[in-house]
Structure 1
Amino acid sequence: MSQDAIPPAVRRVYGPEDLSTAASFAGGYINFGDWSGFDAAGTPTRADRVRSQQALYRRVLAEFPHPPASRLAEVGCGRGLGCALAVGELDFAAVTGVDIHPEQVARAREANAGALAASPDRLGYTIGAADRLPFADGALDGVYSVEAAQHFPELPGFAREAARVLRPGGRLVVTTFFTSGPAAAGPLRELLASFADGLDVPHPITGFATALEAAGFAAPAVRSIGPAVWPGFDRYLAGGAVPPGHWARNFLAAWREGLLDYYLVTAERPATA
């Protein structure tokens, strides 16, 4: 995969800056977390932060049929910890983590060296882009993506590729934050530096649902899980993960103002043409 295909902000943040080392993403999973069941009155600890990120993966992976004799791919796998969790804890048959950034793929292989050695036929990491997935037609039972699609330059190509690599009846599960519509883009760039510098792309949720249908998926199910994400994540940031006044605190404000929300999206490739 050519480095030219990687958006500059993505190349920087997931390359030399290594976002997984930031205190706001303790543990290296790099997602905002599912804070369901956490004590809303207390200040979350670093251990709570790691558990919240694992919980988001569990929520996504629970959308696939069980028993989990399924071949899955994670698109935008980062350090690959979620892939290892899917194999080691949830016992999926095989999981391949795909990331456009070579440094992230190298980090995933290093961070999960033990799991790779223990299950070489079940766990793997490879370079690939969301709109050019390194799998044959119909090779997978499931495709998932956890807090990565906001970085994809466009979503129709991802939808088409996911449909291509899934077998008939296969399932796509995506969770991340989407905007409420095109009018939200300007205010989000003012509130959040990640939108201003191009790291995050203001994809409307309606546009993603339309792209999935155009790619041949059955009517996607779109569910907001914002209440389980934003307040808990902000409480953790307020506990010292970022300096006072840091722009990341504006995610909660953007959600409350209706500019964006966190969604869980599922869609199936029809079992018959």
Structure 2
Amino acid sequence: MPQDEYAISPAVRETYGPADLSREPVFAGGFINFGHWHGIDLAEPLGEAERIRSQENLYRRVLDAAELPKEARVLEVGCGLGMGCALTLREYDPAAVTGVDIHPEQLRRARERHTESAQLRFTQGAAEQLPFDKSEFDAVISVEAAQHFPDLAAFATEAARVLRPGGRVAVTSFFAADDTPERPAQLAELLPTFADGLDLARPATALAEAFAAAGLEGVGTVSIGDQVWPGWDTWLGRLWAPDTWPRNFRKAWQRGILDYYLVTARQPDPS
């Protein structure tokens, strides 16, 4: 499908195109996520090594939740620069890893960083329109990308379609804490990324319900915010003063209007 047929929001197109979010110092090592800071001493000075470790740890948290079988075929939706795909290939011994991203510039950067092979490939596609066959993958993962997906129900349907029987999906990202009608406005007031449409204010339960509606079973939703927000905010303190807008992510969490979640589900296996 030609790239202009994918509906990329202006905010997503700019942030992951010319702006290249991965160049920002807060996203060290080419990853673009807030990090999972378990096991990292936040009382000690944080350097780039700790920051990269936090981002890798977030992938490990998701991949462990996906319960990969031996020689798994893994799909990452919203792969960005492919750093998580490379980690999966390096540490989890899969048969193959495929990264899909809607943004052509991100795919170009991923291919510049990583050599494609029979075990690693990158493909353009939308979360709601995955260019893969039915039952092609043992696991579908997504790390801090679902906040951009315009249609969680369509994503859930596609994830279910490409999963083999018994396969698992594991998604982590930040979501509104609940479906209270005031939440989108509250988040937009604190965080410009919600105001300009880069991030979409939906509760994690919306994704969980979408997985169930798509026929997946064993749906689980767990908050991991206590392992994300304090570390992220401590790291931000190197570059951003208190009360500047990026520091408001932790403030939104403390106010109970935003949190970080891991959502998992399984494709039924009739056998």
TM-score greater than 0.5 by the shorter chain: yes
- Corresponding residue number in structure 2 for 1:251: 249
Give how far 1:4 is off. Answer: 5.5
State the Cα deviation string for residues 68-125 of structure 1 (Å, max 9, x = none): 3110100000000100110122211110000000000010011113xx3xxx111010
Change (3 A) 1:65 1:4: closer
Tell me the TM-score normalized by structure 2. Answer: 0.95
Query: Is this contact kept in 1: 2:205–2:221, CA < 8 A?
Result: no
Equivalent position amino acid for 2:165 in 1: P
Indicate if the aligned counterparts of 1:216 and 1:269 stay in contact, CA closer than 8 A.
yes
Give the one of 170, 173, 181 matched to 2:170: 173
Show the counterpart of 1:34: 36
Partner SS, residue 32 of structure 1: coil
- Tell me which residue corresponds to 1:188: 187
Q: Contact 1:35 / 1:229 at 8 angstroms: preserved in 2?
A: yes
- What letter matches 1:38 in structure 2? I
Q: How many Å separate the matches in 2 of 1:122 and 1:176?
A: 26
Partner of 1:89: 91
Superposition deviation, residue 152 in structure 1: 0.6
The corresponding residue for 1:5 is: 7
Is residue 43–residue 236 contact of structure 1 (8 Å, CA) maintained in 2?
Answer: no
Structure 2, unaligned runs of 5 or more: none
Equivalent residue number for residue 162 of structure 1: 159
Residues 27-176 of structure 1: matches in 2 within 5 Å? 27-66=29-68, 68-113=70-115, 116=116, 120-176=117-173
Letter of the structure 1 residue corresponding to residue 201 of structure 2: P
- Matched residue SS, 2:237: helix
Distance between the aligned counterparts of 2:28 and 2:69, measured in 1? 31
1:188 and 1:33 map into 2 onto residues whose CA distance is 20
User: Distance in 1 between the 2:118 and 2:107 partners?
Assistant: 17
The offset of 1:244, in angstroms, is: 5.2
1:254–1:45 distance in 2 versus 1, CA, 3 Å? same
Q: For the structure 1 residues 4 and 90, does the alpha-carbon distance in structure 2 shift closer, same or farther, using more than 3 Å as the test?
A: closer
AA aligned opposite 2:173: T
Match of 2:213 in 1: 214
What 5-or-longer segments of structure 1 have no aligned partner? none
Distance (whole Å) between structure 2 residues aligned to residue 68 and residue 20 of structure 1: 32
Whole-angstrom CA distance in 2 between matches of 1:40 and 1:172: 31
Letter in 1 for 2:252: A
Deviations for 1:29-52, whole angstroms, at most 9, x for unmatched residues?
100000001112123112111110
Following the alignment from structure 2 to structure 1, what is the Cα–Cα distance between the partners of residues 200 and 90? 33
What do the CA deviations read for 1:217-272 (whole angstroms, capped 9, x no partner)?
Answer: 114111110000000000000022x3554311000000011111101111001112
2: CA distance, partners of 1:211 / 1:10: 23
The percent identity for this pair of structures is: 55
Question: In the aligned structure 2, how far is the partner of 1:222 from the partner of 1:93?
Answer: 28
- Superposed CA deviations along residues 136-188 of structure 1, whole A, max 9, x for unmatched, are 01111110000000001120000000000111111000000111224311110
Q: Is the 8 A contact 1:43 1:239 kept in 2?
A: no
Measured in 2, the distance between the counterparts of 1:244 and 1:206 equals 31
Equivalent pairs, count: 267
- Whether contact under 8 Å (1:172, 1:268) holds in the other structure is yes
Q: Distance in 1 between matches of 2:60 and 2:70?
A: 13
Q: Which amino acid counterpart does residue 132 of structure 1 have in structure 2?
A: Q
- What letter is aligned with 1:218? E
The letter for the 2-side match of 1:227 is D
Matched residue SS, 1:2: helix
